[in-house]
C-alpha cells in the first residue's frame, strides 16, 4: 500500500507543478492587469501598486517568487479584496461549496447505485433499457441547461421550491443538488451496471445461488462489494469534479460559495485568487484520486500492483 501511495505521489507532483506553471503563464498573458479597471488611479499610484505586488519584476522572477511562497503555504493577498488573503477567501467560500458537492455526491450515489443494480439484474429488458436511457440523457444535459430548466418548472411555474439562496429557506438546497448531481448519478448507474454484470457472471455467484442463498443476499452481500469497485474508483475524480462544477451551479442559483470569488477574480484579473483557487482545487483532485485508489485497492488487492 505504501508503494502505491509513493507511485501516485510521484506522478502527482509533476502534474501539480505543470498546473501552477500553465495557470501562471495564462493569467499573466491575458491583456490588461488587475488595476486597469481602477480609473481613478493615477500613473504614479499604479506604479506603486505594481511595485507593492511585485508586478514590475520580469515574469520569470515573479514566477519563482510566487512558487516559493506557495511552497510555504502562502497564496498571497487578493487584489480584489486587499485586506484579505487568498487563503482567507477560500476558507470562507469552501464550506458552502463543499456542502453542495457533498449533497450532490450522496444524491448521485443513492440514485445511481439503485438504478445500476436494477439494470444489471434484468439485462436487455425494459428494466435495463429505461434506466440506462435516462442515464444517457443525464450525461448529455449540462448543468447550465438543467439548472435553468428545473428553476423554470419547479421554481417559477409550479412554485414548489425556492430558486436562490443556500440554507435560508427550507428546500433551497434541492434544485442545486439535483442540478449538480444528475450527471454523476448517470455515471454511477452505468458504472454500477457494468461492475455488477461482470461479478454476477462469476463462478462464486453461481455457487452461492446453487446453495440456495436468497437472491437478495447474493446481490447485497456477495455481488455488490465487487460490483461497486468501478464506482469507488470514480469517487475521487467525481468529488473533485463536483467541487469544480459547483461554480456554474452557484452562479445559477446565487449560492455564496467559492465559485463567487473565482468568477469575480476572473472578471477583475485577480491573479492571486485565480492561481490560489486553481492550485487548491488541483490539490483536492490529487487527494481525492489518491483516496479513491487506496479504497479500491483495499477492496481489490490486485489493484495494488497496478
Half-sphere exposure of 26 (CA within 13 A, CB side): 10
- Is 211 part of any domain? yes
Whether 23 is covered by a domain: the verdict is: no
The answer to whether residue 65 sits within a structural domain is no
Identify which of 135, 89, 103, 88 has the alpha carbon closest to the alpha carbon of residue 253.
103
Long-range contacts of 135-140 (CB under 8 A, 24+ apart): 135/185, 135/186, 135/187, 135/189, 135/190, 136/186, 137/186, 138/182, 138/183, 138/185, 138/186, 139/183, 139/186, 139/187
pLDDT in tens, 50-81: 777 777 778 888 888 888 888 888 888 887 77
Instruction: Give per-residue pLDDT as tens, 104-135.
Output: 999 999 999 999 888 888 888 888 889 888 88
pLDDT reading at 233 higher than 80: no
Number of structural domains (the chain) is 1
Burial class (CB in 10 A: 0-12, 13-18, 19+), 118: middle
Q: Which domain holds residue 288?
A: 89-305
**In the structure, what pLDDT confidence band is assigned to residue 266 with cuts at 50, 70 and 90?**
confident
Structural domain includes residue 54: no
Cα R_g (the chain), whole angstroms? 24
Residue 175 has pLDDT above 60, yes or no: yes
pTM of the full predicted structure? 0.77
In a domain, 10, yes or no: no
Q: Which residue has the higher pLDDT, 194 or 221?
A: 194
- Report yes or no on 31 lying in a domain: no
Task: Break the chain down into helix, strand, coil percent, rounded to 5.
Answer: 75, 0, 25
Residue 138, domain member (yes or no):
yes
3-state secondary structure of 77: strand
Does residue 41 form part of some domain?
Answer: no
In tens, the pLDDT along 268-301 reads 778 888 888 888 888 888 887 777 777 766 766 6
Q: How far apart are CA 38 and CA 292, in angstroms?
A: 46
Q: What is the CATH number of the domain that holds 157?
A: 1.10.3720.10
Residue 77 pairs in a beta bridge with 85
d(CA 110, CA 119) in angstroms, rounded, equals: 14
Amino acid at each position: 500500500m505504501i508503494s502505491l501511495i509513493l507511485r501516485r505521489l510521484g506522478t502527482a507532483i509533476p502534474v501539480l507543478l505543470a498546473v501552477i506553471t500553465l495557470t501562471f503563464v495564462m493569467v499573466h498573458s491575458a491583456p490588461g492587469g488587475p488595476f486597469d479597471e481602477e480609473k481613478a488611479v493615477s500613473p504614479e499610484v499604479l506604479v506603486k501598486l505594481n511595485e507593492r505586488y511585485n508586478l514590475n519584476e520580469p515574469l520569470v522572477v515573479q514566477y519563482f517568487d510566487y512558487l516559493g511562497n506557495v511552497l510555504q503555504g502562502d497564496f498571497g493577498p487578493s487584489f480584489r479584496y486587499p485586506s484579505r488573503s487568498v487563503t482567507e477567501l477560500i476558507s470562507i467560500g469552501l464550506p458552502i461549496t463543499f456542502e453542495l458537492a457533498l449533497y450532490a455526491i450522496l444524491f448521485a450515489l443513492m440514485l445511481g447505485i439503485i438504478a445500476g443494480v436494477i439494470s444489471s439484474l434484468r439485462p436487455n429488458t425494459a428494466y435495463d433499457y429505461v434506466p440506462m436511457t435516462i442515464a444517457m440523457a443525464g450525461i448529455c444535459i449540462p448543468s447550465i441547461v438543467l439548472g435553468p430548466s428545473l428553476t423554470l418548472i419547479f421554481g417559477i411555474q409550479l412554485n414548489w421550491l425556492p430558486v436562490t439562496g443556500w440554507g435560508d429557506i427550507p428546500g433551497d438546497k434541492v434544485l442545486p443538488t439535483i442540478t449538480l448531481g444528475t450527471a454523476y448519478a448517470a455515471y454511477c448507474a452505468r458504472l454500477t451496471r457494468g461492475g455488477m454484470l461482470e461479478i454476477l457472471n462469476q463462478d462464486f455467484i453461481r455457487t452461492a445461488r446453487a446453495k440456495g442463498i436468497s437472491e437478495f443476499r447474493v446481490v447485497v452481500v456477495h455481488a455488490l462489494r465487487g460490483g461497486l469497485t468501478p464506482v469507488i474508483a470514480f469517487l475521487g475524480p467525481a468529488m473533485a469534479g463536483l467541487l469544480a462544477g459547483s461554480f456554474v451551479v452557484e452562479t445559477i442559483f446565487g449560492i455564496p460559495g467559492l465559485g463567487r470569488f473565482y468568477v469575480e477574480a476572473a472578471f477583475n484579473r485577480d491573479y492571486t485568487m485565480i492561481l490560489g483557487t486553481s492550485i487548491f482545487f488541483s490539490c483536492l483532485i490529487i487527494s481525492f484520486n489518491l483516496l479513491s485508489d487506496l479504497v479500491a485497492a483495499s477492496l481489490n488487492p490486485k489493484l495494488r500492483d497496478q
